[in-house]
Chain A
Amino acid sequence: RKEVEQDPGPFNVPEGATVAFNCTYSNSASQSFFWYRQDCRKEPKLLMSVYSSGNEDGRFTAQLNRASQYISLLIRDSKLSDSATYLCVVNKGSNDYKLSFGAGTTVTVRA
């Protein structure tokens, strides 16, 4: 089983729509969770950290469900510039700095 699994998509949505997707992780000892964004032919960049209580950053909301070992990302009022691949990222244990990256979920926002 992969350490981090994501629905590859693509999710094709119109501007202004809400899009949401999840990822699951296998290591119950994981303590650090992130969403990264990767644009075509560019390096990954941190979008947001994910905290136990859930957190919001503008139009982006991240949730963590430890019991079911999944993380979600919701994008409200989608913009054309949100088109990218979103990588779910989880650390390997309670005190391990090595991160496992999901293969990514592709989102395409159309005009």
Chain B
Amino acid sequence: GAGVSQSPSNKVTEKGKDVELRCDPISGHTALYWYRQSLGQGLEFLIYFQGNSAPDKSGLPSDRFSAERTGGSVSTLTIQRTQQEDSAVYLCATSRGQGRGQTGNIQYFGAGTRLSVL
């Protein structure tokens, strides 16, 4: 499809296990963002990629969280030794990230991965 694709859509895991969440961006979008949203809460920024590099990782809550992006395309968010407080919806968004002007900044979101840590 033409939109941002995230997988899996739902993930149930046991406390202490590692999980990997995947994001396939819109073709040609150089900027990619990960957010977390807990039930009834706003979006919490996690990390921003421009191409393969991550100029801003300031939102990652702990060293259990990491993310990478390869080939300027697919990104993976990894959570190690999951805890119950990690339960949330993890949203990926991408934008053209090129040139000036508002249109390059518009972020398009995937449907998210709903993570439940038991």
- B-contacting residues of A (Cβ < 8 Å)? 31-34, 42-46, 49, 51, 87, 89, 91, 95, 97-104
Whole-angstrom CA separation of A71 from B79 in the bound complex: 36
Whole-angstrom CA separation of A31 from B105 in the bound complex: 10
**Contact flag A46-B42 (CB < 8 Å), given A97-B31, A97-B95:** no
Contact with A along B40-52 (1 / 0, CB 8 A): 0111010010100
Whole-angstrom CA separation of A22 from B3 in the bound complex: 30
Residue of A whose beta carbon sits closest to that of B112: A43
Distance in angstroms from B65 CB to nearest chain A CB is: 18
Which of B35, B97, B104, B108 touches A46 (beta carbons < 8 Å)? B108
Q: Are A104 and B42 in contact (CB under 8 A)?
A: yes
Q: Are B104 and A97 in contact (CB under 8 A)?
A: yes
> Most chain-A CB neighbours within 10 Å: which of B31, B41, B42?
B42
Chain A neighbourhood of B100, CB < 8 A: 95
- A-contacting residues of B (Cβ < 8 Å)? 31, 33, 35, 41-43, 45, 48, 50, 56, 91, 95, 97, 100-112
> Most chain-B CB neighbours within 10 Å: which of A31, A46, A91, A99?
A99
Distance in angstroms from A50 CB to nearest chain B CB is: 8
Q: Are A46 and B48 in contact (CB under 8 A)?
A: no
Distance in angstroms from B102 CB to nearest chain A CB is: 4
Q: List 11 A-B contacts (CB under 8 A).
A: A32-B101, A33-B102, A34-B102, A34-B105, A43-B91, A43-B109, A44-B43, A89-B107, A98-B33, A98-B48, A99-B107
Q: Are B43 and A101 in contact (CB under 8 A)?
A: yes
Whole-angstrom CA separation of A49 from B109 in the bound complex: 16
Which of B42, B45, B97 touches A97 (beta carbons < 8 Å)? B97
Whole-angstrom CA separation of A31 from B112 in the bound complex: 28
Q: Are A43 and B110 in contact (CB under 8 A)?
A: yes
Which of A34, A44, A51 touches B109 (beta carbons < 8 Å)? A44
Chain B neighbourhood of A51, CB < 8 A: 102
